[in-house]
């Protein structure tokens, strides 16, 4: 994870500095930096072609071309690289003097020390950490992005520390500054990983585990059986977790993997993926063959009626059409602003895809056929009725509307001495009222002794319904309502 963060930081620097380079060569009447869009991704940028100007062809009717200055008389174009370098160098940075130490050992699984392991630590620029922690969405100008990127790069270079493990496997990073360091280690012939978080501050001890790597020949085949040109190979523990990944090419098919038993998978983008193959490194004869298959998936969005736009979460379920309730189903959440969802690596067939405000009682369902690739679907939820949601306004003793952090709801059903309760998913609207999902309840039907398929009109007639409102500051209050009839309630704590 630490290497990922560092890579992202370097990528951001490249993007921002690239954007500034483009800005420096634009005409000076271009848009102001504050109004400029964010830089495009690094892989989307291309070197701008040189300006192409038509040659000045003498013509009796063209006095404009005759007035053009000769090319040899033009002043040389400014060097954007030099201007950018000067701008970066002008960014001032004060780095505190470091006096701290981070130590640790590098050992094998058997406890043997490993010498010559390079351990490197770095700490992000503090201001960037503060921006991430506050989650600020304020727009930052291009100039400010460049300034922060330059500060980050200079800070990283000034605070980065390295150390080599000795014959006892011990390493030391000295003169570390105050702050949290990310640590990584490298050694030829080993996969070296930190034991624990891989982050440390002054005085901490972080140990590393060095696992000998073995070169494994791998063959990746396309769905039609021909050799693939390139792919990504991932390996993980049979029960999940651990492992790593590497880019694979047909002309260099060997991949260095740490010893042990791993589940190997090959993939090409989001569209092709192989079934996992269990491999014990060092004993499984090669090559390991990974055959790509088209990944069947369902992608879609949930759409609520405009009157129900305040909901912030929906359960989306994909279940094989005709399957029983006991059969496993795929489930995930959809959230604003795009309300998107995605189910991957599905077996071919028909699926009932549904959206709900909780884990059952669907509000919208579509039948989707999945075969040979991607299927798309939109789940349109009709305007919610009083049998599905209840509006509630909750006030404290002084008449102030209570906040979402202070209130939670549950739903109660009672019939004689029988009853049961269920948590009520809710959302607070801008006007201070709450919407409570009533469909989070499966009614117990009298005489059946089991659970039914959800609340129905007959259930509503034989059961008494109530909302239990719990406030951290004011206690609990219960209010009865008529299922499917009562549109809203008001609760006032005394």
Grouping H, G, I as helix, E, B as strand and the rest as coil, residue 265 is strand
Report whether 348 contacts 299 (CB < 8 A).
Answer: no
Residues 285 and 142 occupy one common structural domain: no
Cα–Cα distance measured from residue 326 to residue 343, given in angstroms and rounded to the nearest whole number? 19
Residue showing tokens 């034991």: 195
User: Of 268, 294, 320, at which residue does a domain stop?
Assistant: 294
Residues 469 and 369 occupy one common structural domain: no
Average pLDDT, the chain: 79
Residues 401 and 252 occupy one common structural domain: no
Residues 37 and 178 occupy one common structural domain: yes
| pLDDT per position as a tens digit, 122-179 | 998 886 544 544 444 456 677 788 888 888 888 888 999 999 999 999 999 999 998 8
Task: Identify any residues that bridge with 422 across adjacent strands, giving them in sequence order.
Answer: 411
**pTM of the prediction?**
0.55
Confidence of residue 426 (pLDDT cuts 50, 70, 90): confident
DSSP label of 349:
E
Phi and psi torsions of 236, nearest 5°: -145, 165
Q: How far is CA 299 from the centre of its chain?
A: 17
Domain coverage including residue 368: 297-380
DSSP label of 148:
H
Q: Which of 411, 472, 407, 470 is nearest to 437 (CA)?
A: 411
Predicted confidence at residue 262, as pLDDT, reads 93
Residues 248 and 319 occupy one common structural domain: no
| CATH number of the CATH domain containing 283 | 2.60.40.1120
Q: How far is CA 473 from the centre of its chain?
A: 36
Q: Is the pLDDT of residue 105 over 80?
A: yes
| CATH number of the CATH domain containing 366 | 2.60.40
Predicted confidence at residue 141, as pLDDT, reads 78
Do the domain assignments include residue 196?
yes
Report whether 119 contacts 2 (CB < 8 A).
Answer: no
Element (H, E) at 152: helix 142-159
| pLDDT per position as a tens digit, 465-475 | 889 999 988 99
Cα–Cα distance measured from residue 218 to residue 226, given in angstroms and rounded to the nearest whole number? 14
DSSP label of 202:
T
Number of compact structural domains in the chain: 4
Report whether 183 contacts 200 (CB < 8 A).
Answer: yes
Report whether 190 contacts 117 (CB < 8 A).
Answer: yes
| CATH number of the CATH domain containing 160 | 2.60.40.10
């Amino acid at each position: 994870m630490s290497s990922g963060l560092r890579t992202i930081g370097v990528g951001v620097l490249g993007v921002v500095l690239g954007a500034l380079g483009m800005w420096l060569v634009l005409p000076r009447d271009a848009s102001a930096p504050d109004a400029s869009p964010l830089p495009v991704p690094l892989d989307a940028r291309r070197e701008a072609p040189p300006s192409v100007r038509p040659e000045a062809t003498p013509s009796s009717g063209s006095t404009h071309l005759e007035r053009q200055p000769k090319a040899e008389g033009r002043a040389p174009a400014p060097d954007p690289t030099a201007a950018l370098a000067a701008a970066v160098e002008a960014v001032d940075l004060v780095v505190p003097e470091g006096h701290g130490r981070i130590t640790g050992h590098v050992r094998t699984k058997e406890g043997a020390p490993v010498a010559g392991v390079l351990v490197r630590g770095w700490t992000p620029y503090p201001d960037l950490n503060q921006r991430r922690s506050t989650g600020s969405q304020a727009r930052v100008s291009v100039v400010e992005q460049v300034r922060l990127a330059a500060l980050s790069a200079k800070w990283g270079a000034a605070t980065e520390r390295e150390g080599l493990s000795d014959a006892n496997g011990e390493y030391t990073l000295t003169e570390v500054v105050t702050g949290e360091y990310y640590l990584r280690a490298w050694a030829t012939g080993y996969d070296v990983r930190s034991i624990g978080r891989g982050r440390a501050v002054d005085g901490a001890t972080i140990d590393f585990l060095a696992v000998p790597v073995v070169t494994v020949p791998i063959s990746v085949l396309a769905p039609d059986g021909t050799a693939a040109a390139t792919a990504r190979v991932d390996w993980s523990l049979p029960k999940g977790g651990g492992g790593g990944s590497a880019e694979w090419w047909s002309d260099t098919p060997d991949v260095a993997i740490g010893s042990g038993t791993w589940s190997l998978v090959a993939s090409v983008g989001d569209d092709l993926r192989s079934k996992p193959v269990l491999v014990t490194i060092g004993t499984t004869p090669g090559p390991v063959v990974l055959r790509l298959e088209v990944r069947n998936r369902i992608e879609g969005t949930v759409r609520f009626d405009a009157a129900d736009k305040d909901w912030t979460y929906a359960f989306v379920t994909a279940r094989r059409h005709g399957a029983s309730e006991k059969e496993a189903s795929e489930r995930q959440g959809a959230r604003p602003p795009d309300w998107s969802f995605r189910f991957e690596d599905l077996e071919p067939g028909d699926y009932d895809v549904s959206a709900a405000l909780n884990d059952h009682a669907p509000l919208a369902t579509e039948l989707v056929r999945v075969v040979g690739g991607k299927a798309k679907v939109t789940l349109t939820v009709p305007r919610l009725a009083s049998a599905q949601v209840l509006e509630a306004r909750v006030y404290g003793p002084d008449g102030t509307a209570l906040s979402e952090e202070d209130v939670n709801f549950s739903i109660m059903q009672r019939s004689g001495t029988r009853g049961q309760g269920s948590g009520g998913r809710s959302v607070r609207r801008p006007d201070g009222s709450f919407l409570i999902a009533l469909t989070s309840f499966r009614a117990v039907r009298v005489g059946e002794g089991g659970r039914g398929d959800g609340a129905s009109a007959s259930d509503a007639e034989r059961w008494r319904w109530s909302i239990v409102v719990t406030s951290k500051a004011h206690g609990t209050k219960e209010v009865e309502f008529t299922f499917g009839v009562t549109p809203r309630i008001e609760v006032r704590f005394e």
